[in-house]
């Protein structure tokens, strides 16, 4: 727990005005969630995408807030509340929160990973490599937030400024040397990480994603590039030379750069000797020499993720032996080509692929190494980028023998409308697909069709344990559904 801080210290470096006497006022906590306000706290009224904190000032006051900061003028509900007017809340918020928590990112080695695909696996790899070298690290990412033997559910890939700085401060208090973060384009655009400084930044790739929010691929890319403004002095960028946009940064950035890639010249690259459904083997070529890698992670895209992690490890001075052990000891990443084995005579994988590029990567791999047919099940999320739907349909039908188009997280859209958008990319050109709106039935159909040597891939939701229908999070875990169906089939036979 943080001890109380002087309000004037929290406001250091922030443009503000106040007629209240704040020089000696201490606040116990800072929050922009009125539900979390307690007596003696500072409530910060923030305009969000769905809610406006100014609407909850009275609630915060009723709960005993000692001070309220806002961008828009407001009337004080009580005379004993300090009123602070902020000129630019977007830039002020992360600075205020950072001031309160003592800027923990300056007290640890911070590694940020951004890009459309590969962020989660890359953070897992870096975490494992650092652990093999004896360094303790916390991780903040899509699947969960975890540090000091504690695991927390992840509401967002990158949490808001208060949650983020609070967690980083706890990591510092636990004596962790590293924090590894997935950094989303939303968090960069909204300034959630403006109070964080990074020692290393990995840029994996940019493909069409989140255009419902960013509108264009160029704006999406520019949002991602903002992360390099957060590099510490002497920081290093780790860039994927196989991605044109990421590679273009190598000449633009005014910092140390390490490159990696499979297809183009890079500092860290690979010579592949084995690709199969069970394992991958390759040699990593680096400026320090060659390193042999064997891993249960499969596919060229995972080799790319491993190269990114190796580049980070090299920049941190991790010995080859620890790098090798760290990669080898990571057996799987939840929901990332996660194999489901219940004694069936065909292979089943559950994967988070929800962009055309990610779907292409996993289907291309499985197509190359599968001895039998490739059967794919996927859908697209509702209230998200619609432009990728027909493209994902074409990708699935082109690379698969059989495709079952189904529902993903429809949110507030009609699932049948989403399926029609996907089908628009394949109707008339492909006949190797069918549509089944019920995701459980779609998975069952795919498993029932599979024969010895076939591969079934269930894509889109990966590690998620729910299905979002309107505003409700309904329990649904692709892995559990697959296991249940396979076990019932085994009992019947």
**Res. 313: pLDDT tops 70:** yes
pLDDT tens digits, 396-417: 999 999 999 999 999 999 999 9
Instruction: Evaluate if residue 386 carries a pLDDT over 90.
Output: yes
Q: What percent of the chain has pLDDT over 70?
A: 99
The pLDDT value given to residue 76: 86
Whether the per-residue pLDDT at 138 is higher than 60: the answer is yes
**pLDDT tens digits for 326-352?**
999 999 999 999 999 999 999 999 999
Section 189-210 average pLDDT? 92
Quick check: 2 pLDDT over 90?
no
pLDDT at 309: 98
Task: Give the C-alpha distances (Å, rounded to integers) separating 151 from 25, 116, 148.
Answer: 35, 24, 9
In the prediction, which pLDDT does 484 show? 97
Sheet with 269-275, side-by-side order of all strands: 269-275, 280-286, 289-295
Contact 262, 303 (CB under 8 A): yes
269 pLDDT higher than 80: yes
pLDDT digits (tens, 9 = 90+) for 278-301: 999 999 999 999 999 999 999 999
So what's the pLDDT on residue 212? Answer: 77
344: which residues sit within 8 A by CB, 6+ positions away? Answer: 447, 450, 486, 489, 490
Query: What is the per-residue pLDDT for 108?
Result: 98
Q: What local confidence, expressed as pLDDT, does residue 129 receive?
A: 98
> In the predicted model, is pLDDT for residue 492 greater than 70?
no
463-481 pLDDT per residue, tens:
999 999 999 999 999 999 9
Closest CA to 290 of 327, 258, 320: 320
Question: Residue 277's closest CA among 257, 298, 262, 246?
Answer: 298
What is the pLDDT averaged over residues 29-52?
A: 94
Rounded average pLDDT over 300-317: 98
pTM assigned to the model = 0.94
- Supply the pLDDT for residue 48: 84
**Pick from 159, 137, 165: nearest CA to 149:** 137
Is residue 493 scored above 60 in pLDDT? no
Contact of 306 with 123, CB cutoff 8 Å: no
Helix (H) and strand (E) counts for the chain?
A: 16, 26
Phi, psi of 18 (to 5 degrees): -160, 135
pLDDT 10s digits, 76-126: 888 899 999 999 999 999 999 999 999 999 999 999 999 999 999 999 999
Q: Which residues contact 400 (CB under 8 A, 6 or more apart)?
A: 363, 367, 374, 375, 376, 432
Are 203 and 238 in contact by the 8 Å Cβ rule? The answer is yes
Predicted local confidence at residue 208, as pLDDT? 66
What per-residue confidence (pLDDT) applies to 213?
A: 80
Instruction: Supply φ then ψ for residue 6, to 5 degrees.
Output: -70, 135
Quick check: 241 and 250 in contact, CB under 8 A? yes
Confidence of residue 491 (pLDDT cuts 50, 70, 90): low
- Is 80 exceeded by the pLDDT of residue 67? yes
* Percentage of the chain modeled with pLDDT above 90: 92
Mean pLDDT calculated for residue range 437-444: 98
Q: Please provide the average confidence, as pLDDT, over all residues in the chain.
A: 95
**Given pLDDT bands bounded at 50, 70 and 90, which one contains residue 140?**
very high
What are the chain's domains? Answer: 5-89 (3.40.1390.10), 104-328 (3.40.1190.10), 338-492 (3.90.190.20)
């Amino acid at each position: 727990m943080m001890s109380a801080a002087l309000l004037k210290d929290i406001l250091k470096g922030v443009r503000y005005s106040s007629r209240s006497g704040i020089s000696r006022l201490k606040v116990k906590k800072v929050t922009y969630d009125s539900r979390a306000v307690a007596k003696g706290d500072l409530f910060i009224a923030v305009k969000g995408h769905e809610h406006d904190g100014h609407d909850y000032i009275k609630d915060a006051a009723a709960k005993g807030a000692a001070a309220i900061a806002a961008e828009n003028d407001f009337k004080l509900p009580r005379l004993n509340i300090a009123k602070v007017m902020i000129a630019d809340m977007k830039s002020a918020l992360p600075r205020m929160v950072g001031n309160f928590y003592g800027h923990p990112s300056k007290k640890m080695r911070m590694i940020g990973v951004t890009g459309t695909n590969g962020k989660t696996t890359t953070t897992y790899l870096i975490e494992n490599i650092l652990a093999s070298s004896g360094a303790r690290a916390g991780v903040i990412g899509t699947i969960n937030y975890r540090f000091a033997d504690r695991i927390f559910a992840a509401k967002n890939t990158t949490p808001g400024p208060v949650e983020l700085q609070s967690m980083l401060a706890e990591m510092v208090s636990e004596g962790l040397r590293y924090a590894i973060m997935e950094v989303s384009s939303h968090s960069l655009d909204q300034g959630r990480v403006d109070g964080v400084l990074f020692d290393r930044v990995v840029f994996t790739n940019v493909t069409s994603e989140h255009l419902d929010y960013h509108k264009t691929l160029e704006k999406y890319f520019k949002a991602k590039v903002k992360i390099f403004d957060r590099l510490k002095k002497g920081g290093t960028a780790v860039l994927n030379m196989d991605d044109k946009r990421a590679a273009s940064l190598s000449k633009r950035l005014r910092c140390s750069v390490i490159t990696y890639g499979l297809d183009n010249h890079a500092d860290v690259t690979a010579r592949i000797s084995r690709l199969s459904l069970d394992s991958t083997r390759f040699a990593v070529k680096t400026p320090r020499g060659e390193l042999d890698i064997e891993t249960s992670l499969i596919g060229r895209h995972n080799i790319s993720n491993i190269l990114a992690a190796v580049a980070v490890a090299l920049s941190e001075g991790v010995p080859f032996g620890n790098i090798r052990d760290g990669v080898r000891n990571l057996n799987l990443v939840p929901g990332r080509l996660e194999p489901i084995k219940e004694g069936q005579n065909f292979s089943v994988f559950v994967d988070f692929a929800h962009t055309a590029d990610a779907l292409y990567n996993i289907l291309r791999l499985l197509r190359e190494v599968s001895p039998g047919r490739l059967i794919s099940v996927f859908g697209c999320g509702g209230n998200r980028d619609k432009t990728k739907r027909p493209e994902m349909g074409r990708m699935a039908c082109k690379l698969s023998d059989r495709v079952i188009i189904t529902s993903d997280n429809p949110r507030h859209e009609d699932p049948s409308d989403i399926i029609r958008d996907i089908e628009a990319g394949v109707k008339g050109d492909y006949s190797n697909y069918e549509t089944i709106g019920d995701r459980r039935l779609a998975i069952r159909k795919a498993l029932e069709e599979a024969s010895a040597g076939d591969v079934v891939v269930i894509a889109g939701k990966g590690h998620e344990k729910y299905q979002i229908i309107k505003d409700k999070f309904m329990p649904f875990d692709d892995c559990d559904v697959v296991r249940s169906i396979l076990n019932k089939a085994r009992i019947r036979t």
